[in-house]
Amino acid sequence: MKRRLFLSTVVALHAAFLASGMPAFADDAKPLAGQNLTVLLPPWVTLPKEMTDRFTAKTGIILDSQTLGWDDIRTKVVTSMVANTAPASATEVDWSWVGQFGAAGWYQPLDTAIDPAVLADMPASKIFTYDGKLIAIPYNNDFRLLIYNKSHLDKAGIKAAPKTPDELLADAKAIKAAKIVDYPIGLPLSATEGSATAWYLLTKAFGGELFDDKFQPLFVSPDSAGYKAMSFEVEALKAGLIDPAATGLKDVDVQELFKSGKITFDVAGWAGNLAVYTDASKSQVASDAKAALMPSVTGTSRTFGLPGALGIPTSAENKDAAIAFINWMLEPETAIADYTLLGNLPTRLSVLKQLNDAGKLKEGDVLLEQAKLSEPLFAQGTPGWYPQFSSAVASALNQAAKGQISVADAVKQIAEETKTAQQ
């Protein structure tokens, strides 16, 4: 977003935020100059000095960027807001926190704070809507797709990336039979969020949803997509296509296996990881890492977004400065720097296209096509009981993978724990 657009946004916000009790500001070149702004961000958004200096030079705002781990940020937000104090003027808001934070009314609606054209350029923005209000703005794109080692496919005589789950299994069996790698499929099966995320993605690959519009489970029946997705994982493990050690592996461990060339398919690959996988200084398979649309039984690829966003606590100070910071993070120049320096994939389709046109987006054509297909995990918005649901999924999936319970028992256990969480 150019300076002209930023200033026009500032002027438009003057009237809107008077109505919400927020302080108005003067119409001058740097109306917020001298204000102090504290932001709370995860480690992967540790903004380098060259970026923070650029923000201060443009706005006059003095930025204090604080870093905490992802889980620690959530804990700090919860404890602070319960005490009616803000942890910072702007904070990370993960997609999975939307239901809890939205229901609690902890975050300022931002529907009028962002240019509508910019919002239309960000499909992921709808993920942060709760009760019809936009409570955070996505700045860090995270959707999943299939990442694979092309040299493994070539050696096995496979001409193209798999387009269906059955083709994925067949290709993995061919690669294993050719003794190219021992365990071609990379999926985490530990009792962690990353394992649950992969199951959600495979549920969509099998053409279904987790819940109906009343949040009743759709994954218990053997003919349901969720049941088939979990069966796919367990059977691939039993067939020796997934490393038995996967029951103790997190998603980041799977990434390390892919970078070392020990697996062929990163089935729930992070879109932003392509920049790392194709970097010869960080990956042993840099020239072989390729991307494909997520396989599907329907013929149409599906994925869901897990983006990071920025929100403003309702009890925060300097809300105008926080809005300026969020708008600045969305500007093409800033988003490109964030990607180039930190590897955070932009959320705006136009910026992704700009990077791709410049040859700076690895596997850009596939990324752009998959990004357009990104959808919320929950069409109704992430529910407040999502953390309990996710924990139940991770635990049951891990038990099924270890052979402690059947798939039928695992999905039933998830459904029962979800019902308890909903009460």
- The predicted pLDDT at position 305 comes to 84
pLDDT at 372 over 90: no
Rounded distance between C-alpha atoms, residue 361 and residue 418, angstroms: 39
Q: What is the 3-state secondary structure (H, E, C) of 43-100?
A: HHHCCCHHHHHHHHHHHCCEEEEEECCHHHHHHHHHHHHHCCCCCCCEEEEEHHHHHH
Q: Give the pLDDT of residue 135.
A: 97
Query: In the prediction, which pLDDT does 306 show?
Result: 87
pLDDT of residue 28: 61
Q: Over range 110-134, report the average pLDDT.
A: 92
Mean pLDDT of the region 366-371: 91
pLDDT for the residue 207 = 97
More confident residue, 305 or 185: 185
Tens digits of per-residue pLDDT, 377-415? 987 778 889 989 999 999 999 999 999 999 999 999 999
Q: State the CATH architecture for 3-142+307-375.
A: 3-Layer(aba) Sandwich (3.40)
Higher pLDDT, 22 or 55: 55
Q: Are 124 and 347 within 8 A, CB to CB?
A: yes
pLDDT band of 16, cuts 50, 70, 90: very low
pLDDT at 189 over 70: yes
Better pLDDT: 70 or 312: 312
pLDDT of residue 17: 38
Question: Is residue 328 pLDDT above 80, yes or no?
Answer: yes
pLDDT digits (tens, 9 = 90+) for 268-326: 998 888 888 998 998 999 999 999 999 999 999 999 888 999 999 999 999 999 999 99
pLDDT score for 20: 39
Could you tell me the residue ranges of all domains in the chain? Answer: 3-142+307-375, 144-304+385-422
CATH of domain 144-304+385-422: 3.40.190.10
Q: Which two tokens stand for residue 334?
A: 């800033």
Name the CA dihedral angle for 374, 378, 381, 387, rounded to a multiple of 10 degrees.
-110
Q: pLDDT at residue 56 above 80?
A: yes
Residue 187 C-alpha from the chain's centroid: 17
Check residues 343 and 22 and name the one with the higher pLDDT: 343
Domains 3-142+307-375 and 144-304+385-422 in one fold: yes
Instruction: Using the predicted structure, report yes or no on whether residue 24 has a pLDDT greater than 50.
Output: no
Q: Quick check: 251 pLDDT over 50? A: yes
Note whether 74 and 106 are within 8 A (CB). no
